[in-house]
Structure 1
């Protein structure tokens, strides 16, 4: 006598739109979402106001958008942590079992998380960048850093900065799914994405330095400036590089998600 084990299949009423809606509901109802995004906004706006109100001409060689958005160097950590929490925290709370029971094919969950997070992170970051730039210009309007949103390259740099932070944080989301642990994923992100390129850049080797320019953090730095950044790839190359990195990490996360037990 043989027995068969039923393989769970998705509910007939389960559609990509419903999976997206479920992940959007999770994101907006988590307190960590509001705390991390709120802190991110506060850092960017606060530092931007400080930079604008204290400018005395000493930093005339710094790109205006880079100058006003200096706070994003800190805020990107907050957004990255949110990306990690979206995936890794479900394993620590046990929610992942309910999620995968509802969506047995698993991969739609990861793609929905990535899509919802990407749209939310970019929208919030770009809006914050625009507001911070306009507020900083209250003090910078009579200086050599006076610019408007309609000036050439300004909106592109503001959007590029937001895209860079979003894609870096999407990599963090993928690391969260790979590590299935919030502390481990944060350590992996800080160690490999933020610290490793800085260490490698100290090596006196042209090949290594050229390769480092394609690393995620360096690619992101090339996106948020009106003028090309020295020793970095072009903004277009940086964007493509970041997209490839994010796609590779998410693909690896998707492969392991299908192969590993919950």
Structure 2
């Protein structure tokens, strides 16, 4: 007696489908539009204000043009950091993560898809915002000592580097959300571990500590957004490698615990 072949499932879990699912989640959440819109608005408004109020005799002529114009990216990063935490820890607070992991029992593709969709989205939005902000601010700065063009050496790289720095920091926040599984806890961990800890460590009178702090996430991200070398900062290549390693380390820890812990 022959047995009938097992029926082929109508739907299979594939990386493309997991990516599409996570993209749909991010696109349809109201918090995504609010936080990304707030981030873009803060960067643009602060940049226009900096450009409109700048005078050549104001004592800021030694400030890097890109840093001056994109000063609002510090506030914008706070918005995207919160969004990154909501993308992962938010699902645990609502209980949606159970349905997600039931649909994708291997689990890890969910984390990779969230990270990929979030990274592309944040970089695209922040890069576009940075370019528009720079161009808008230069309308006011064209006759000052801060006049610059995207065609000048290192300027375009610094503008895009600013967006990349924001993206890296936000990706670390996403990984912390997956690691801690609590929105308030992940926000506290980011503020304490990523923003405050390096400032505390710089108060220690040790050259080795000072050298190490240069490669901490916030310090390394700042290097990417400067068109001129920052005194006492890490080189651009070293800062980029450091950010990649920080993201890989936190995401790796989150992936390990995702496989071992219950939802």
Fold conserved between structures, TM > 0.5: yes
1:239 and 1:81 map into 2 onto residues whose CA distance is 22
2:79 and 2:19 map into 1 onto residues whose CA distance is 23
TM-score in terms of structure 1 length: 0.95
Gap runs ≥5 in structure 2: 1-8
2:55 and 2:148 map into 1 onto residues whose CA distance is 16
User: In the TM superposition, what whole-angstrom CA distance separates every residue of 1:70-122 from its partner, at most 9, and x where no partner exists?
Assistant: 00111111001100000001011010000000000000000000000000000
User: In the TM superposition, what whole-angstrom CA distance separates every residue of 1:142-201 from its partner, at most 9, and x where no partner exists?
Assistant: 111111111111110011111111011100000000110000000000100001001111
2:169 is matched with: 168
Once the two structures are TM-superposed, the CA of residue 12 in structure 1 deviates from its matched residue by 5.7
The aligned runs of 1:104-253 (5 Å cut-off) are 104-253=105-254
TM-score in terms of structure 2 length: 0.95
Q: Secondary structure in 2 aligned to 1:34?
A: helix
Q: Secondary structure in 2 aligned to 1:222?
A: helix
Once the two structures are TM-superposed, the CA of residue 11 in structure 1 deviates from its matched residue by 8.2
Q: Secondary structure in 2 aligned to 1:211?
A: helix
Q: Secondary structure in 1 aligned to 2:150?
A: coil
Runs of 4 or more above 6 Å deviation: none
2:86 and 2:95 map into 1 onto residues whose CA distance is 13
- Count of residues in Structure 1 that have an aligned counterpart in Structure 2: 253
Gap runs ≥5 in structure 1: 1-9
1:11 and 1:77 map into 2 onto residues whose CA distance is 42
1:19 is matched with: 18
1:5 is matched with: none
Once the two structures are TM-superposed, the CA of residue 207 in structure 1 deviates from its matched residue by 1.0
